[in-house]
Amino acid sequence: MTDTIVAQCTPSGTGALALIRLSGSKALFFASKAAKLSSKKMLSDIPTHTINHGWIIDFHNNIIDEVLFFVMHGPKTFTGEDTIEISCHNNPFIIENIINQLITCGARLAQPGEFSRQAVENGKLDILQAEAIKELIHAQSQESLKLSLSQIHGSFSQHIQALEKPMIQAIALCEASFEFLEEEMDFSDQMSEILNSVQNEVARLTILFDQQKQIREGIRIALIGSVNAGKSSLFNALLGKQRAIVTNIAGTTRDVIESSFFQDGFYWTIIDTAGLRQTNDSIEQQGIERSYQEAQTADILLLVLDGSRITTNQEAIIYKDILEKYPQKCLIIQNKSDLKSTIQNNLFTPILSVSAQTGNGISGLKDLIKTKTALLFSDTSSSFLLNKRHFNLLQSFALELKEAQTLIHSSKEYELISLHLQKALSLLSELTGKSISDKAMDAIFRDFCVGK
């Protein structure tokens, strides 16, 4: 990449300060055209890794803003290129004028993720570390933040490198078996042992994917139950505000409503769903179908019982089906404890009785969710986060290993075995970005913010 690029690196909006980054081989030259330093020096003559006071000026010597220039010469920068970072006042008009002036001086507006892409192409980061930067920015929990930081420092990259070494060894043994076929030297047992070890490690990584999705995106907690069980009232009580409409009319909630907030280092999304029952109302039926979809995708299910009356046979059938499908994520909660309780007559024993109306038991319910959340993450043994791209490549990698293992134990066609092993090794290289197409690179950085 030969272009010098510029973009705002801080969020848009009015505030105290903003940061504009200019990076590329001509960053110092272009910035010098728009810079006037209080020291009277030229920006291009300033020593690296220094902070300098001055102004951004237009071609008529009019001041656009008073700023600080952070001067950093490559390769000791984030991108590996010469970089100027400009700290200015955070006014949208000022930012736009500064960027336009730098573009007029010769720079180009950066594309999404282009600074990180410069860093990858200059060998400052690999793809896995660059992806971790995006995860860090969008982290929805303390755990996600911790794992993203670890991955930026190379935890996942080192793990993949550790898988590459036995793969190279297996390929060498495969080729040796082919070369010395007439001498009847066979290394298939050693190859099989190596591949078994790699397969076990890949299986462990892919099993963690669902759990890591919870870490990355936060916990989805769905309230599900019959009509008039008080789900919407409970939803509002958990949020601490009136978010859902509450009436005595059965079937008031006809669609999924959700709201999110941070709770003790985790990002909770509480989901109110339509009441489960048989109905001829087509709109309500669609809402009920969405309720079942939420039950399937939620991490925690609060099965809400109406504590003011006995559970009907129709409700019992629905509840039993949900409990059988999702036994690990269901918590049975009895609502309306402020009314006459029929707990002894219910077919399902609740873990907790609450009153959404009075607030009784709500803090206990939050504690119960916290405990359930802690259990979800109790066996986290990874120092990085897998995204969908990583998961798909590891799945393809595992399939190539399986094909190779099948040939080792059957025909011992070493040329074919070597072909599968080479393909598997190339998938690892694609994972870290050692060998990756421009199209794949574009897809990775497309979702990055412009300033990163």
**pLDDT tens-digit profile of 328-380?**
888 998 888 887 654 445 567 788 888 888 888 999 999 998 888 877 766 55
Percent share of the chain, pLDDT over 90? 29
Domain 5-126 identical in fold to domain 134-208+385-432: no
pLDDT at 107: 95
Specify the CATH number of the domain 134-208+385-432.
1.20.120.430
Query: CA angle, 308 as apex, 302 and 314 as ends, to 5°?
Result: 65
d(CA 322, CA 304): 12
Residue of higher predicted confidence among 312 and 254: 312
Distance CA 167, CA 161 (A): 10
Nearest to 362 by CA among 219, 266, 235: 235
Q: Which helix (H) or strand (E) holds 202?
A: helix 188-207
User: Helices 188-207 and 209-217: crossing angle, nearest 10°?
Assistant: 30
Q: Tell me the C-alpha distance between 294 and 127, whole Å.
A: 34
Q: What share of the chain is helix, strand, coil (3-state, %, to 5)?
A: 45, 15, 35
Quickly state the pLDDT bin for 47 (edges 50, 70, 90).
very high
Q: For 359, how many CA atoms within 13 A lie in the half-sphere containing its CB?
A: 4
Angle between helices 438-445 and 127-137 (to 10 degrees): 20
Q: Which CATH class is domain 215-376?
A: alpha beta
Q: Which of 131-135, 175-179, 224-228 has the lowest mean pLDDT?
A: 175-179
Which of 173, 176, 202 is CA-nearest to residue 190?
173
pTM attached to this predicted model: 0.63
Task: Name the range with the highest mean pLDDT among 3-17, 63-77, 309-323.
Answer: 63-77
Residue (of 435, 393, 399, 415) closest to 195 by Cα position:
399
pLDDT in tens, 224-258: 888 788 888 888 888 886 655 444 544 444 457 88
| Domain positions in the chain | 5-126, 134-208+385-432, 215-376
Average pLDDT value for residue range 252-280: 73
- Superfamily (CATH H level) for 5-126: Probable tRNA modification gtpase trme; domain 1 (3.30.1360.120)
